[in-house]
Structure 1
Amino acid sequence: MTALWAFLLEYQTHLLFGVGLLVGLLATIHAAMTKRDVRAAIAWVGVVILSPFFGAFLYFLVGINRINRSRRLQHNEYLLQEQVNGKHQVTTNIAEISGSQFESLKKAGNQLSRFPIWSNNDITPLPGGDEAYPAMIAAIDSATKTIAMQSYIFDNDVVGKRIVQALVRAHQRGVTVKVLIDAIGAKYSRPSIISLFKNTGIDVALFEAHFFTFKMPYSNLRCHRKILVIDGQLAFSGGMNIRESFTSEICRGEPMKDVHFQIRGPLVFQLLLVFFHDWSFTTQEKLKPDLWILTPETLPESNIAARCITSGPDNDITSTHRLIQAACAVAQKHIRIQSPYFLPDQVLLGALNTAARRGIRVDILIPGNNNLYLVNCAMMAQLNQVLDAGCHVWRSNGPFDHSKLFTVDDGWALVGSSNWDARSLRLNFEVDIEVYDRPFSTRIGQHIDREIEKAIPITRETLKSMSFIKQLRNKIIWLASPYL
């Protein structure tokens, strides 16, 4: 034993070097063999080589996708088929309701989404918390059977407390209530909103709560979805978290901006099914749809055709990314984008730039005041790549705008939780709504146009006028854009 200890002391430097080399080699091999994106593979290999111990530890901690894909994708296909075959109309006349160019986009979507396009939906935009939160609370108060609620951020503030109180009232009426909050999003406020649910009897779960143990599926993968479903008949979804800063009643100064959506019709079932999957993945509890859905007496008067597009670091990892590519490819007149975090990869930059070079008008609206300093710097460093191709970029005036909107030719729209960045399109679990409807798409386009009228254009001269120090700062931060 003494001899072994003496050997370890004498050769500890060599042993540490050997262990570091072995661990670094294993991390390098794993990154090269498993990463789909060559940039991600190169980045991780570089980190490991530069710092074998720390780099390998960091890679094993946050660089490996441990999501159980088979478990995550256990969709209740028979439920979907039952809805399609028995009750709801699958939309086929896309050319008539949106335009002939969208027939090919529908085919692309059929390959990317597990959900069909269903008609007979009503989708109402709710701009800002002043409209969205009261509507959500009123819907919760009207619930008679079930409430499914899911959010990334659920702050313990005035708005958060009001929603918790409404959920408690519903539970006391005998309504079944399930609440799913992302474990990181729940910590945006102190104390966490979870403390308000204690002793209420409401089932609350945290998505990926064990993010500092090696049992974690992946600490860097968050559930960014926002869903509220009432009695299987009424739903709310979009990009809005639960935060008082989006209400003029409570926040100081002008509230932050966003657009949420109230939904009726068969699309509600798709959103509920997304919630079922996330709840089952998080808690291992499988919910029975027949206990969660009340059959509506009548279908909505509006006849919007739409479906859910889910994406996340599993087999759906490129769904939204590829759908955006396809939408840019079919554009014939006008592409409008509004995103708080606009950091597309080279593939999406190529899709936008190709559209602009084909003569398509491409308008990109980003916030003038961004809540994430590093993201804002990285965005500024990359904008020249779309401006050089003829795209138009605008910075909104006023408070931070969190809206996530995308329209093509006033005939198709994509709205939901996804940003135009790597975190949304590769790392987070997201849910978006693909809408084929001219009146709805025109309304979203007009909303973006009104914001552009008040916005400040960004040109190549604007970027060149920045000091060298700022340009260098932005470029250095931009290098980390896949992880912002």
Structure 2
Amino acid sequence: MLFFNIPRISENPCILPAFGLKTRYLSAMTWDSLLVLGYYLFVTTVAIGILMENRNPMKTMGFIMVLYLIPIGGLIIYFLFGQNHRKRKLFSRKGIRDNEHIRTWELENISQVKSAEEVTKHFLQDKWKVVNSLFNSDRAVLTTQNTWRLLRNGEETFGALLEAIEQAEHHIHIEYYIVEDDGVGRQFRDALIEKAKSGVEVRFIYDDVGSMSLKRRFLRPMREAGIEVKPFMPVLFPLLTSRANYRDHRKVVIVDGKVGFTGGVNLSSRYTNVKSEGRYWRDTHLRLEGDAVKSLQMHFLLMWRFVNESAPQVSPDYFPDIEVDEITLVQVAASGPDSDWANILSAIFTAINTAQREILITTPYFIPNDEILFALQTAALSGIQVKIILPKKSDSRLVQAAMMSYVKEMLEAGVKVYLYEKGFIHAKTMVVDESLCTVGTSNMDYRSFDINFEINAFVYDNEMAKALKSDFKKDLESCSEITLERWDKRVLRRRVSESFARLVAPLL
């Protein structure tokens, strides 16, 4: 039989090495095959999960292709950038929003707005759709008794912040994306320490990635003075994660529950426009006084509960009665992975679609999703004047290239695009029909709309809209307008680099 003709390995030393090599080779092939099979079974499971989420078909196909075509890297890209965070909430808003004081305040405001709904709807006309969008998506209360003050650049903003901190009597709540260990950062730290030593409650949240320069030597004196300091989602290697996960991009200050601030200015010397600190920074911040501050307070307490795993005992001292004679309609909208809907995105989308005459947008990062892009194009094509100011030179070459890839589509639809040349324009504002405007932390990009924690004030006020429009016109004096003819003459190398940058735009 053939079986008996096979030499025994132990009797033939010449065969032993070859057989052993072949055995190891086959064994290695078996393990490699099992690993590959296991990987693709796992990828298939993930792909089915993506499919079952019923998201945009283009996004779904894109991520599935990345998973199969880029081994290992595809999984990393998906888990960092592709997950639907709103279906995997980081934390629930329920505990804070169910608090007796907050519920009472919300119900009172809702009742007041409902009782005057017909008058308010007549005054706001189509902008009432924005109010409804924010309320239905995030229960954002429309507050009526408010005063406001626009703050230009760091020079005005820092002075107003320090003045409010100096006048604090009960508590100071601060939440910032960037706090740097420099002249401005230390000035604010020392002011907070002084107030804490005088008996004022001070709570301080900083983003661990945005504020990566903060070391123990900066924070230790704050903690020793009794300030409660908490980082937002600390990471081991912040330099490697600045663009890889959702961050707390908000800038919020609340003093005694009466005065609140939000906008684009971070706590850094670069915003002071001192020549020694680098190029000119153009920004916009907002000071609010009135019932809208209660909305800012609520969102701060939500974030505090997350970073601290508990919330302070919510008392009337955090939500005091505020006597404000002026009537200004303000809604504070917050969005992030904790919200059911992309609240700020939906409000901006609705505002654009309800515009009748004019849309003015200033943003440092313009990487719109398909919905915003189409809405702006449609508005311009319908005869509405749409103008956008972008920085001529961003703080990231890749982001700049991705932004520029959208310019031609804007120009072809009739949108007027301007590049700010005086320095870096970091303001995040929009004005619609001189009746609605927004100031806040949200950029016009994927990260702000879908990933980061952001907060914006939507103000339905002719006077503020006119003031922001005046600022827009003044900024145009430092801009150059882009024309379609000029844009088409760009060198091929730039156009190619912009197209490649656009491929990774959702990750920026």
Letter in 2 for 1:351: A
2:206 match: 181
Q: Which of the pair is proportionally richer in helix? A: 2
Matches within 5 A, 1:175-324: 175-188=200-213, 193-194=218-219, 197-210=222-235, 220-249=245-274, 251-252=276-277, 254-290=279-315, 292-293=317-318, 295-296=320-321, 298-299=323-324, 301-324=325-348
Query: Aligned AA for 1:174?
Result: G
Counterpart of 1:72 in structure 2 is 92
Q: What is residue 136 of structure 1 aligned with on the other side?
A: 161
Q: Could you tell me whether the CA contact under 8 Å between 1:94 and 1:102 is conserved in 2?
A: no
Q: Which amino acid aligns with 1:163?
A: F
Greater Rg by CA: 2
Matched residue type, 2:120 = I
Q: For 1:205-255, what per-residue CA distance to the aligned partner results, in whole angstroms no more than 9, with x for missing partners? A: 111114779xx9x96111111110001111111122111111034744553
Is 1:340 paired with 2:364? yes
- Preserved contact between residue 234 and residue 268 of structure 1 (Cα < 8 Å): yes
Does the CA contact (< 8 Å) of 1:178 and 1:203 recur in 2? Answer: yes
Quickly say closer, same or farther: Cα 1:147–1:382, change in 2 above 3 A: same
CA distance in 1, matches of 2:231, 2:480: 40
Read off the aligned partner of 1:255 and give its amino acid letter. Answer: Y
1:30 aligns with 2:49: yes
Show the counterpart of 1:479: 503
**Which of 389, 413, 424 is residue 448 of structure 2 equivalent to?**
424
> 2:16 maps to which residue?
none
Number of the residue aligned with 1:366: 390
Match of 1:307, SS?
A: strand
TM-score (ref. length: structure 1): 0.91
Deviations 1:307-330 (A, max 9, x none): 111111243442111111211111
CA contact (8 A) 1:412 1:441 kept: yes
**Aligned counterparts of 2:288 and 2:223: Cα–Cα separation in 1:** 30
Q: Percent identity?
A: 26
Q: Is the 8 A contact 1:128 1:260 kept in 2?
A: yes
Distance apart, 1:62 and its partner CA: 5.1
1 CA distance for matches of 2:217 and 2:416?
41
* Kept in 1: contact 2:172–2:256 (CA 8 A): yes
Letter in 1 for 2:61: I
Identify the match of residue 464 of structure 1 among 488, 497, 508.
488
- Counterparts in 2 of 1:209 and 1:189: CA distance versus 1, 3 Å: closer
2:223–2:229 Cα contact (<8 Å) kept? no
> Which residue does the alignment assign to 2:403?
379
Letter aligned with residue 135 of structure 1: A
- Tell me the CA shift for residue 69 of structure 1: 2.7
Note closer, same or farther for the CA distance 1:38–1:58 as it changes in structure 2 (3 Å cut): same
**Matched residue of 1:165: which SS?**
helix
The question of whether the paired residues in 1 share the 8 Å contact of 2:138 and 2:341 is answered with no
Paired residues, number = 476
Do the aligned residues in 1 keep the contact of 2:209 with 2:235 (CA within 8 Å)?
Answer: no
The amino acid of 2:194's aligned partner reads R
* Code of the aligned partner of 1:141: E
Larger displacement relative to structure 2 (81-90 or 462-471): 81-90
Q: 1:389 and 1:196, CA in 2 relative to 1: closer, same or farther beyond 3 A?
A: farther
- Report the Cα distance in structure 1 between the residues aligned to 2:476 and 2:48, rounded to whole angstroms: 48
TM-score, length basis structure 2: 0.87
User: Using a 3 Å threshold, how does the CA distance of structure 1 residues 45 and 306 change in structure 2: closer, same or farther?
Assistant: same
